Amino acid sequence: MANTMKGPGIFLAQFLGDEAPFNSLESITKWAGDLGYKGVQIPVWDARVFDLEKAASSQTYCDEIKGICADNGVQITELASHLIGQLVAVHPAYDTAFDGFAPEAVRNNPKARQEWAVAQMINTAKASRNLGLDVSVSFTGSLAFPYLYPWPQRPDGLVEEAFAELARRWKPILDTYEDHGVDVAYEIHPGEDVFDGATFEMFLDALGGHNRCMINYDPSHFLLQQMDYLAFIDIYHERISAYHVKDAEFNPDGRQGVYSGYQPWLNRAGRFRSLGDGQVDFSGIFSKLATYGYDGWAVLEWECCLKHPEDGAREGAPFIADHIIRRTERAFDDFAGGETDKSALRKMMGIE
- Of 187, 193, 208, 71, nearest to 138 (Cα)? 187
Where residue 208 falls (left for φ over 0; alpha for ψ -120 to 50; beta otherwise) is left
What pLDDT score does 328 carry?
77
Kindly state the DSSP code that residue 79 receives in the 8-state scheme. Answer: E
pLDDT in tens, the chain (352 residues): 468 999 999 999 999 999 999 999 999 999 999 999 999 999 999 999 999 999 999 999 999 999 999 999 999 999 999 999 999 999 999 999 999 999 999 999 999 999 999 999 999 999 999 999 999 999 999 999 999 999 999 999 999 999 999 999 999 999 999 999 999 999 999 999 999 999 999 999 999 999 999 999 999 999 999 999 999 999 999 999 999 999 999 999 999 999 999 999 999 999 999 999 999 999 999 999 999 999 999 999 999 999 999 999 999 999 999 999 998 777 666 666 777 788 888 989 999 7
What pLDDT score does 352 carry?
74
Would you say residue 122 lies in a domain? Answer: yes
Would you say residue 189 lies in a domain? Answer: yes
Task: Give the whole-angstrom CA distance, residue 131 versus residue 125.
Answer: 10
Would you say residue 95 lies in a domain? Answer: yes
Would you say residue 204 lies in a domain? Answer: yes
The 3-class secondary structure across 138-179, one letter per residue, is ECCCECCHHHCCCCCCCCCCHHHHHHHHHHHHHHHHHHHHHH
Would you say residue 284 lies in a domain? Answer: yes
Range of the domain at 60: 6-348
Under 8 Å between Cβ of 316 and 307: no
What pLDDT score does 205 carry?
98
Task: Give the whole-angstrom CA distance, residue 196 versus residue 185.
Answer: 14
Name, in order, each residue with C-beta under 8 angstroms of 36's C-beta and a sequence gap of 6 or more.
Answer: 8, 317, 318, 321
Question: Angle of helix 59-71 relative to helix 25-35, nearest 10 degrees?
Answer: 40
The CATH number of whichever domain residue 237 belongs to comes to 3.20.20.150
Under 8 Å between Cβ of 135 and 125: no
Q: What's the total number of domains in the chain?
A: 1
Would you say residue 130 lies in a domain? Answer: yes
Q: What is the pTM of this model?
A: 0.95
Tell me how many degrees the CA angle 89-94-97 measures, rounded to the nearest 5: 115
Would you say residue 1 lies in a domain? Answer: no
How many angstroms from the chain centroid is the CA of residue 167? 19
Would you say residue 120 lies in a domain? Answer: yes
- How many separate helices (H) and strands (E) can be counted in the chain? 13, 10
What pLDDT score does 1 carry?
43
